[in-house]
Amino acid sequence: MGYNAPSMARKTLITARDLERRPALPLPADALLTPLARDLLRKRGLWPPPVRAGGRGCGAPRLVVANWKSHKTIPEALAFARGLREELASRRPRAGAVVCPPATALANLRGPLRGVAELGAQDVSAHDEGAHTGELAARHLVDAGARYVLVGHSERRAAGEDDARCRAKVRAALRGGLTPILCVGETAGERDAGRTEHVVAGQLEAVFAGLDLARATRVVLAYEPRWAIGTGRVPQGEDVAAVLAHARAVLARAFPPDAVERVPVLYGGSVNERNAARLLALPGCSGALVGGASLDPARFAQILASA
Ligand code: 13P
């Protein structure tokens, strides 16, 4: 099955006025709600809609992913691995752990993290090989021990990576045997303009258009509002749940709903050991993508234990 990218124009926009006029208005699967419409539904106890997918005991695997960004040398990475192993000796996390170190530390971490966490890279070339100085192709990352790779992280988007590039990188990752973790999310300005769902849908459609079901269901999604990254600001739980449900609804326009239920959708942005349990228990949340709090093995282990 191929994915026909739906145009935004075909979505059904529902305003607060529509809901006031017709209180029992059925919400189509592709409904795009204005912020006022959502507030109204919230007051009526109808928002966010109930979502089964991705919660505990549901179809999607649970994952907690550490994104170290440009932190840690090889000796520091090895010290983390020792620490995490010790922390997890007395805990039994319910989520799978993935550590995305700088690429220089991947191969060194393979042995020390075996049985404790999988490895992921933070970026991948869109090319399989060739004259692309400085780029690491999926085969290099697999060779060094990676099984996952982040694609479209907001810090890479801020450095000029557009949707077309994310699309090419997701395909390169899948061709090379890596599981892409596709990051999507809005800026503060887009949120304030009520454009979050529009932005997230556009980022998803750009990447998933033309993917067949087998490849589409190998992608992990991570919703990271850009304004929540590294700021200590976390959106309201119901707003996170609404975007996670929306992301799945966008995929469900093209893929069977039971397959979409098995796609993990993570939340990222200022996740720490104090808020992890609450965020990870949100409807539709399959896990977390963690930056700053993942640098310390005790804090990361606590987040894992909350999953
Ligand atoms: P923080 O957890 O530091 O906000 O970073 C989130 C992030 O960017 C993970 O990819």
Candidate list 118, 161, 190, 224, residue with the active-site label: 224
Q: In the prediction, which pLDDT does 74 show?
A: 98
Predicted confidence (pLDDT) at residue 51 exceeds the cutoff of 50: no
CB-based burial, 76-95: b 16+ in 10 Å, e otherwise:
ebbebbeebbebbeeeebeb
Pick the atom of ligand 1 nearest to 154's CA.
8
Ligand 1 binding pocket (C-beta < 6 A) is 67, 153, 224, 229-230, 268-271, 289-293
Report whether 34 contacts 50 (CB < 8 A): no
> Which residue has the least CA distance to atom 9 on ligand 1?
291
Pick the atom of ligand 1 nearest to 271's CA.
2
Q: Among 289, 295, 299, which is best to mutate for testing ligand 1, by the most ligand atoms less than 8 A from CB?
A: 289
Predicted confidence (pLDDT) at residue 22 exceeds the cutoff of 70: no
Predicted confidence (pLDDT) at residue 98 exceeds the cutoff of 60: yes
Q: Is 224 a catalytic residue?
A: yes
pLDDT band for 101, please (50, 70, 90 cuts). very high
Q: In the prediction, which pLDDT does 6 show?
A: 39
Long-range contacts for 105-108 (Cβ within 8 Å, ≥24 apart)?
Answer: 105/72, 105/73, 105/74, 105/77, 106/141, 106/144, 106/145, 106/146, 107/144, 107/145, 108/74, 108/77, 108/78
CB-based burial, 101-125: b 16+ in 10 Å, e otherwise:
bbbebbebbeebbeebbbbbbbbbb
End-to-end CA distance of the chain: 33
Q: What is the pLDDT of residues 138-197, one digit of tens each?
A: 999 999 999 999 999 999 999 999 999 999 999 999 999 999 999 999 999 999 999 999
Share of the chain above pLDDT 70, in %: 85
Mean pLDDT across the stretch 214-219? Answer: 97
Residue 88 CA to ligand 1 center (angstroms) comes to 22
Residue 257 CA to ligand 1 center (angstroms) comes to 29
Residue 137 CA to ligand 1 center (angstroms) comes to 24
Mean pLDDT across the stretch 267-280? Answer: 97
Pick the atom of ligand 1 nearest to 222's CA.
10
Q: Among 153, 267, 271, which is best to mutate for testing ligand 1, by the most ligand atoms less than 8 A from CB?
A: 271
Q: Among 68, 100, 224, which is best to mutate for testing ligand 1, by the most ligand atoms less than 8 A from CB?
A: 224
Pure H helices in 51-127: 74-89, 106-110
Global confidence as pTM = 0.83
Q: In the prediction, which pLDDT does 54 show?
A: 42
Report whether 290 contacts 64 (CB < 8 A): yes
Residue 3: name the closest of 270, 305, 260 by CA. Answer: 260
> Which residue has the least CA distance to atom 7 on ligand 1?
291
Mean pLDDT across the stretch 112-131? Answer: 98
Give CATH 3.20.20.70 domain extents, the chain: 62-306
Mean pLDDT taken over the chain: 89
Q: What kind of fold does domain 62-306 have according to CATH?
A: TIM Barrel (3.20.20)
Pick the atom of ligand 1 nearest to 232's CA.
4
Q: In the prediction, which pLDDT does 285 show?
A: 97
Residue 24 CA to ligand 1 center (angstroms) comes to 40
**Burial class, 210, CB count within 10 angstroms (exposed 0-12 / middle 13-18 / buried 19+):** middle
- Interatomic CA distance for residues 271 and 285, integer angstroms: 13
Residue 224: name the closest of 194, 257, 181, 178 by CA. Answer: 181
Candidate list 118, 153, 190, 205, residue with the active-site label: 153
- Interatomic CA distance for residues 212 and 208, integer angstroms: 8
SS3 state of residue 145: coil
Mean pLDDT across the stretch 264-283? Answer: 97
Give the torsion through C-alpha atoms of 98, 305, 249, 156, to 10 deg. Answer: -40
Mean pLDDT across the stretch 26-33? Answer: 60
Residue 131 CA to ligand 1 center (angstroms) comes to 32
> Which residue has the least CA distance to atom 5 on ligand 1?
291
Residue 282 CA to ligand 1 center (angstroms) comes to 18
pLDDT band for 256, please (50, 70, 90 cuts). very high
Predicted confidence (pLDDT) at residue 234 exceeds the cutoff of 60: yes
CB-based burial, 217-254: b 16+ in 10 Å, e otherwise:
bbbbbbbbbbbbbeeeebbebebbbbbbbbbbbbbbbb
Predicted confidence (pLDDT) at residue 276 exceeds the cutoff of 80: yes
**What is the helix, strand, coil percentage profile of the chain, to 5?**
40, 15, 45
